[in-house]
Amino acid sequence: MTILLQGFEGPLFDWSWVRSHLTSEIIPALVGHVYLSFVSVAIALVISLPTGVLVARYRKAYAPVTLVTGVLYTIPSLALFAILVVVPGVGVGPKAVIIALVAYSLLVLIRNVVAGIDSVPPETIDAARGMGLTEGQILLKVELPLALPVIIAGIRIATVTVIGIATIGAYIAGGGLGALIFDGIDRSFPTMVITGAILATALAVATDLLLLGIEHYFRPWARAAGRRG
Amino acid sequence: MIEFREVSKLYPGSRSAAVKDLSFEVPDGEICVLVGPSGCGKTTSMRMINRLIEPSSGEILIDGEPNTSMSGTELRRKIGYAIQQIGLFPHRTIAGNIATVPQLLGWSKERIRKRVDELLEMVGLDPGDYRDRYPSELSGGQQQRVGVARAMAADPPIMLMDEPFGTVDPITRERLQDEFLKIQQEIRKTIVFVTHDIDEAIKMGDRIAIMEQGGVLAQYDTPENILTSPASDFVASFVGEDRILKRLSLSRVSEMELESAEGAGKDLPRIKGDPTVRDALSQLVGAGVEAAVVERAGERKLLTLRAIEETLGNRRGRT
Amino acid sequence: MMGGLFRVFGRPEFPGAVARHVELSAAALLVAVAISVPLALLVNRSPLASLIAVNIGNIGRAVPSLALLALAMPFLGFGFAPSLVALAALGIPPILINAATGLREVSREVVDAARGMGLSNLQILTHIQLPLAAPVIFAGIRTSAVQIVASATLATFIGGGGLGDIIVEGFQLSSTPVLLAGAFTVAALAIVTEVVFGALERVFTPEGLKVAKRRQAKR
């Protein structure tokens, strides 16, 4: 395949480079990327579950929290990195990236935890209370299970978003597949760029489909349980 | 006049016909009710009149002309159409909804405005109050009335109604049915009405077409004839075990020939108003008596179980 | 500190970067709308095509923005054009998904009533389906717009210009004022986009639907 604009030497995609650098650069980048992404989402999930439940309970907090999270989510990631990097104690490196990743995930997850809990029909909770369940039991046995599909949807969106942002994080020395992209651009070496970009895309899409499958698995059950008798 | 001539509808890939060799005529100014269990093809048949569905074979004639003699769109603007879920346009006001077909036909704004007000009055909604409201602000019963008004907007000679009173509670439904029958007395449109409820069919229909599974016409006749002489076991069971009583609901006490009550017991209960014969029978049985007194034009008449039985006998027309 | 920020705003290349950023985003959004909306109208004819379009759109949403921009580079080189192509591609999924779903979800009874009353297919589309689907479509356009404005920051890496240039300069010079000037400006731009398109969404929502929503909220 011919290259439309000049600037590069050699073929568009050099398979030999891929083969020779598979274990030294490509796989570590991939693994690092996966690790970065999933760890950030996990941390965010742990924080967002109780926070989301609290916000769902205390409606007064709902509007301000939604507003703030909505605004923060709009900030472009490179801009957020720029802001984080100047904060003393953070600087360039994986720390800033993880903070940003956790922050974006939190925004998505809190919103979905609240939405999930809101989606539980009040009649169901009323019935549970009438049956004698304590508030804690209602939360654990009724609300969270019924909110599960929406929460999983949140996990899916957060993870896919995070995988995307982590690629940008490579610019501030965060590692991951973005490093292949940035190095490739610096060196005018399209093979690296394409490898990094395609792997990042594949990772994102595969994760999306996988979590979508899990979401669907839980949804028919949730629908059956939530349906009025 | 609407005429079905050997109309059939077979969906590709389906083993049995949705409608099979349907033939009948609906005279002008009458309500013909298509009734039957689910899957009998009643809605399909109705929708073939305004060509929302096209027949596989046979033809439908309106006033002697095949309904294919003009485009589907043109045809539908001449036929009123009211469906069960109503389908009001949520983004338009009530007036805007009713004005839809008149606007398509190019009526002047003034004429449309007058017509909208006229129709709202006819269906029992105050125009000043309702014309600028939106569908979501109305109750189910009110929306149903608007649906009927919308179908009548361009004053079409023919109307198709598919369970138009289906989604409201029984009390509202009864009221809507009564009001519609009153309107029909004045406007005398040719109406094809679909329902799954045999009681509604008997109440609303000048003629009833009972259809069974597979789109077959089981019987097409007046309600009285169907109740008196069901054409098959299917019709008899569809109409219900209580068809004798149903016949009694077709007429009123005031239509009966009664003997004078003079000389009869003074302690007999009185029947007030002019109920259906069935309701009167219900009162007799409830009071545990065989006779009651009815006031008619100042005279006291005697309503007896015997008289009621004779009503049935008269109709049967045999010994 | 504030002085430092304002000095950056005063720099000659700054307004150019803002202008370029807006240019790129606006052009990409226009292209995305011009492709997605007709496409959605087209697939609306067939429920299967609609479903396929929505699914492809959903997969498209997962693609990382940087990856898309990066992939444009080997084939289209550096500069405005590859950035435009990549950003437009990025903007298509939200609009396509919302438009296809919005049109499909216009209640069947309403469309059936409209057909039964004698509206032609074109009239049903313009008088019934599009107005009723408009809020959802505009929500998709809003999402797309914000995403494009945010991702246009990355255009700097393939020579597309924009506010990303300022941020990258800030990193290269290790200059806090430059970093923050770039970051705050693009963040503000993104927020303004969100607000403006949110208002547009309200403008294009038919009154009847707003009334219906308000009543639902009350219950």
Q: Does B85 touch chain C (CB under 8 A)?
A: yes
Judge whether A35 lies within some domain.
Answer: yes
The strand pairing partners of B195, in sequence order, are B35
> In angstroms, what separates the C-alpha of A167 from chain C's closest C-alpha?
7
- Out of C61, C62, C194, the one facing A74 most closely (by C-beta) is C194
Q: Do chains A and B touch (3 or more CB pairs under 8 A)?
A: no
- CA A110 to chain CA centroid, Å, is 12
More confident residue, A113 or A222: A113
Q: What is the pLDDT of residue A139?
A: 82
Q: Is C58 on the interface with A (CB under 8 A)?
A: yes
Indicate if the pLDDT at residue A159 is higher than 70: yes
Bridge partners (DSSP) listed for residue C216: none
Interchain contact, A82 vs C182, CB within 8 Å:
yes
- What stretches of chain B show up as alpha helix (H) in DSSP? 42-49, 72-76, 94-98, 100-104, 109-122, 127-130, 140-152, 170-187, 198-204, 223-228, 233-239, 243-248, 277-287, 305-316
Compute the average pLDDT of residues A196-210.
94
Secondary structure of chain C as H, E, C letters: CHHHHHHHHHCCHHHHHHHHHHHHHHHHHHHHHHHHHHHHHHHCCCHHHHHHHHHHHHHHHHCCHHHHHHHHHHHHCCCHHHHHHHHHHHHHHHHHHHHHHHHHCCCHHHHHHHHHHCCCHHHHHHHHHHHHHHHHHHHHHHHHHHHHHHHHHHHHHHCCCCHHHHHHHHHHHCCHHHHHHHHHHHHHHHHHHHHHHHHHHHHCCCHHHHHHHHHHHHC
Of C75, C154, C176, the CB nearest to A86: C176
Given this model, what pLDDT does residue B259 score? 81
Q: Are C144 and C95 in contact (CB under 8 A)?
A: yes
Q: Measured between CB atoms, does B101 come within 8 Å of chain C? A: yes
Q: Quick check: A197 and C66 CB within 8 A?
A: yes
Kindly state whether residue A12 falls inside one of the protein's structural domains: no
* Contact residues, chain C to chain B, C-beta under 8 Å: 107, 109-120, 123, 128, 131-132, 206-209, 211-212, 215-216
Cβ-Cβ pairs closer than 8 A, B with C, add up to 82
What domain range is A212 assigned to? 28-219
Rounded to a whole number of angstroms, the distance from the CA of C217 to the nearest CA of chain B is 12
Q: Between β-strands B19-26 and B2-9, what pairing exists: parallel, antiparallel or unpaired? A: antiparallel
Contacts of A178 in chain C (CB under 8 A): 66
Looking at CA atoms only, how far is residue A98 from chain C in angstroms?
17
C-beta neighbour count of A57 within 10 angstroms: 13
pLDDT at A96: 87
Amino acid making up residue C144 = S
> In angstroms, rounded to a whole number, what is the distance separating the alpha carbons of residues A33 and A181?
13
Residues of chain B in contact with residue C208, where contact means CB-CB under 8 angstroms, are 89-93, 134-136
Q: Do the bridges between strand B2-9 and strand B57-62 make them parallel or antiparallel, or are there none, so unpaired?
A: antiparallel
At A9 the pLDDT is 55
Q: What is the mean pLDDT of chain A?
A: 83
> Which residues of chain B lie closer than 8 angstroms to C117, CB-CB?
76-77, 81, 100-101, 104, 150-151
Strand, helix or coil for residue B171: helix
In angstroms, the first-to-last Cα distance of chain B is: 37
pLDDT digits (tens, 9 = 90+) for C144-200: 999 999 999 999 999 999 999 999 998 888 888 888 999 999 999 999 999 999 999
Tell me how far apart the alpha carbons of residues C172 and C178 are, in angstroms, rounded to a whole number.
10
Task: Examine residue A215 and state whether it is found in any structural domain, yes or no.
Answer: yes
Q: Distance between CA atoms of C59 and C43, rounded to whole angstroms?
A: 17
**DSSP-derived secondary structure letter, B276:** B
What is the pLDDT, as a whole number, of residue A18? 79
Q: Does residue C84 surpass a pLDDT of 90?
A: yes
Residue B53 gets the label, from left (phi > 0), alpha (psi -120 to 50) or beta, of: beta
Residues of C in contact with A75 (CB under 8 A): 150, 187, 190-191
Helix-, strand-, coil-residue percentages of chain B, each rounded to 5:
40, 25, 35
The residue-averaged pLDDT of C61-70 equals: 93
How many domains does one find in chain A?
A: 1
User: Is position A57 within any domain?
Assistant: yes
Look at residue A156 and tell me if it is in a domain.
yes
pLDDT tens per residue, range A2-28: 444 455 555 677 788 877 878 888 888
Pair type for strands B57-62 and B31-35: unpaired
Answer whether B258's CB lies under 8 Å from B302's CB.
yes
User: By the 8 A CB rule, do B188 and B29 touch?
Assistant: yes
Chain A residues with CB-CB distance to C62 below 8 A:
160, 201, 204-205, 207-208
CB pair distance less than 8 Å for A208 and C170: no
In a domain, A123, yes or no: yes
A196 exposure class (CB count in 10 Å sphere: 0-12, 13-18, 19+): buried
Neighbours of chain B (3+ CB pairs under 8 A): C
pTM, two decimal places: 0.78
Residue in B47, B73, B88 closest to C118 by CB: B73
Asked whether the beta carbons of B290 and B267 are under 8 A apart, the reply is no
For the CA atoms of A16, A22, A23, A25, the dihedral, rounded to the nearest 10 degrees, stands at 110
**What are the pLDDT tens digits along chain B (319 aa)?**
999 999 999 988 888 888 989 999 999 999 999 999 988 899 999 999 999 999 999 999 999 899 999 888 889 888 999 988 888 888 889 999 999 889 888 899 999 999 999 999 988 899 999 999 999 899 988 998 999 999 999 999 999 999 988 888 888 888 889 889 999 998 899 999 999 999 999 999 999 999 998 888 999 999 988 988 888 989 988 888 888 888 888 888 888 888 877 777 677 888 888 888 888 888 888 888 888 888 877 778 888 888 888 877 754 544 4
Compute the nearest-CA separation of A142 from chain C (Å): 23
Which chain C residue lies closest to A189 (C-alpha atoms)? C74
Would you say the C-alpha torsion A87, A91, A95, A101 has a positive or negative sign?
positive
For testing contact with chain C, the best of B47, B133, B136 (most C CBs within 10 A): B136
Domains and CATH numbers, chain C: 2-218 (1.10.3720.10)
Nearest CA in chain C to B76: C118
How far, in Å, CA of A111 to CA of A63, rounded?
11
Q: Give the pair of three-digit tokens for residue A8.
A: 């590069």
Residues of A in contact with C180 (CB under 8 A): 82-83, 86
CA-to-CA separations, A151 to A122, A219, B270, C211, in angstroms, rounded: 18, 11, 68, 30
Of C65, C73, C180, Cβ closest to residue A82: C180
pLDDT at position A221, please?
54
Instruction: Please state, in angstroms and rounded to a whole number, the distance separating the CA atoms of residues C113 and C97.
Output: 26
Tell me whether residue A169 is in a domain. Answer: yes
What integer pLDDT is reported at residue A8 of this predicted model?
56
Strand partners, B304: B291
The beta strands (E) that lie in chain A are given as none
pLDDT of A227 reads: 40
Is A136 inside a domain boundary? yes
* Residue spans of beta strands (DSSP E) within A139-213: none
How many angstroms from the chain centroid is the CA of residue B88?
21
Identify the pLDDT of residue A203.
Answer: 94
Q: Which of A3, A75, A197 sits opposite C71 (nearest CB)?
A: A197
CATH number of domain containing A197: 1.10.3720.10
